[in-house]
């Protein structure tokens, strides 16, 4: 039997991880203040740019937390996700449509939506060509001048987690110091090019972004007026580790997130990054249409 490619490995892990091992909806609403802050900030950014009552496609929308919130304000939402468990849970909301599909080949026609959310797929795609394909598909299905939002997992935040936070938690739990190489090969590869670990367990991260790289992907895919922000800010990992919902801590993290969302370098301290831009305007008689 031929050996799996890196992307085939991640695709299989996505189905297993989200299908049986991890509750994505709980991450956004129950597990800690970080998830709630990510949800809040993402929703606010989208709502500030996309009018209520719009047609929105939620690509890789998991169990429909974002889709349900947008449908609740009157948007017509189609959710696409490859995980059967997610599609079933999303469909149970009853306020939007949910179907199985792949971000790299969307089962919808051109220009059917006013905006696209690409909040899940990009960090599960190993190769840049596949990520550009997902961006391009989102652009294809959005009307000229519409919005596309794409999320990445910050490489810097991921490195902080695996090199400092996780070992500290393990030592506090077991009392034993970390063992093995101080810089394993898997960490070196993440630092240099954002490569995820292709192991049999754990988060199926195909790629971890730097903010500049995520922004360049959006530009190279064809989006205009692209901007990339840090979502939860540099204080978010503390409330994630503590599983805190303390409103004072969440408020402090929110303040930091707003203050540093666009600062070069500091935005990379946010666990999640969000790139956004407009699809190209239609060409009318040889000239671009008005913005």
* pLDDT, position 285: 39
Per-residue confidence band for 49, with pLDDT thresholds at 50, 70 and 90? very high
Q: Is the pLDDT of residue 287 over 50?
A: no
> Could you tell me if 38 and 28 are in contact, meaning their C-beta atoms sit under 8 angstroms apart?
yes
Structure tokens at 68: 């349900």
162 or 140, which is more confident? 140
Q: What is the pLDDT of residues 196-205, one digit of tens each?
A: 877 777 778 8
Alpha carbon separation from 227 to 48, 96, 212, 216, 254 (Å, rounded)? 14, 28, 10, 10, 19
Residue of 257 and 189 predicted with greater confidence: 257
On the question of pLDDT at 81 being above 80, the answer is yes
How far is Cα 96 from Cα 211, in angstroms, rounded to an integer?
Answer: 31
**170 in helix, strand or coil?**
helix
pLDDT tens per residue, range 165-191? 566 666 667 776 666 666 677 777 777
Tokens for 70, please give them: 């947008």
pLDDT for the residue 226: 97
Alpha helices (H) in the chain, listed in sequence order: 6-16, 24-29, 33-49, 65-72, 84-91, 128-141, 155-160, 166-174, 185-193, 211-221, 236-241, 247-260
Q: Is the dihedral of CA 104, 107, 110, 116 positive or negative?
A: negative
- Average pLDDT of the residues in 80-98: 96
Cβ pair 257, 265 in contact under 8 A: no
Mean pLDDT of the chain: 86
pLDDT at 171: 66
Averaged pLDDT for residues 106-122:
97
Task: Name which residue leads in pLDDT, 182 or 38.
Answer: 38
Q: What average pLDDT does the segment 77-105 reach?
A: 97
Residue owning tokens 């696209």:
116
Q: What's the pLDDT score for residue 290?
A: 38
List the single range of 27-41, 108-122, 210-224 with lowest mean pLDDT: 27-41
- Residue 56 exposed, middle or buried by CB count within 10 Å (0-12, 13-18, 19+): buried
Give the residue with greater pLDDT, 289 vs 255.
255
Residue 68, burial from CB neighbour count under 10 angstroms (0-12, 13-18, 19+) = buried
Question: What percent of the chain has a predicted confidence (pLDDT) above 70?
Answer: 87
Strand partners, 151: 274
**Residue 202 Rama label (left phi>0; alpha psi -120 to 50; beta):** left
pLDDT at 164: 60
Distance CA 81, CA 90 (A): 9
**Both tokens assigned to 155:** 């490489």
Per-residue pLDDT at 178: 61
Q: What is the pTM of this model?
A: 0.88
């Amino acid at each position: 039997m031929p050996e799996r490619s890196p992307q085939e490995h991640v695709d299989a892990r996505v189905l297993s991880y989200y299908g049986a091992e991890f509750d994505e909806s709980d991450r956004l609403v129950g597990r800690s203040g970080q998830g709630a802050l990510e949800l809040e900030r993402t929703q606010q950014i989208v709502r500030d740019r996309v009018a209520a009552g719009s047609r929105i496609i939620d690509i890789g929308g998991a169990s429909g937390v974002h889709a349900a919130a947008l449908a609740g304000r009157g948007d017509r939402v189609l959710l696409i996700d490859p995980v059967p468990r997610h599609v079933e849970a999303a469909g149970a909301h009853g306020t939007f449509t949910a179907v199985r599909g792949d971000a790299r080949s969307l089962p919808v026609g051109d220009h059917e939506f006013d905006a696209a959310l690409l909040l899940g797929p990009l960090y599960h795609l190993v190769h840049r060509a596949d990520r550009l394909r997902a961006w391009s598909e989102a652009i294809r299905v959005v009307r000229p001048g519409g919005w596309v939002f794409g999320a990445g997992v910050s490489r810097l935040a991921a490195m902080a987690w695996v090199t400092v936070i996780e070992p500290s938690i393990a030592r506090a739990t077991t009392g034993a110091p970390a063992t093995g190489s101080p810089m394993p090969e898997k960490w070196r590869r993440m630092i240099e090019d954002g490569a995820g670990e292709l192991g049999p367990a754990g988060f199926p991260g195909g790629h971890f972004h730097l903010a500049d790289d995520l922004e360049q992907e959006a530009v190279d895919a064809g989006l205009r007026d692209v901007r990339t922000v840090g979502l939860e800010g540099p204080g978010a990992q503390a409330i994630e580790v503590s599983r805190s919902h303390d409103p004072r801590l969440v408020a402090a993290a929110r303040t930091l997130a707003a203050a540093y969302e666009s600062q070069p370098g500091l935005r990379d301290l946010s666990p999640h990054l969000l790139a956004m831009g407009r699809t190209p305007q239609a060409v009318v008689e040889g000239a671009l249409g008005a913005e």
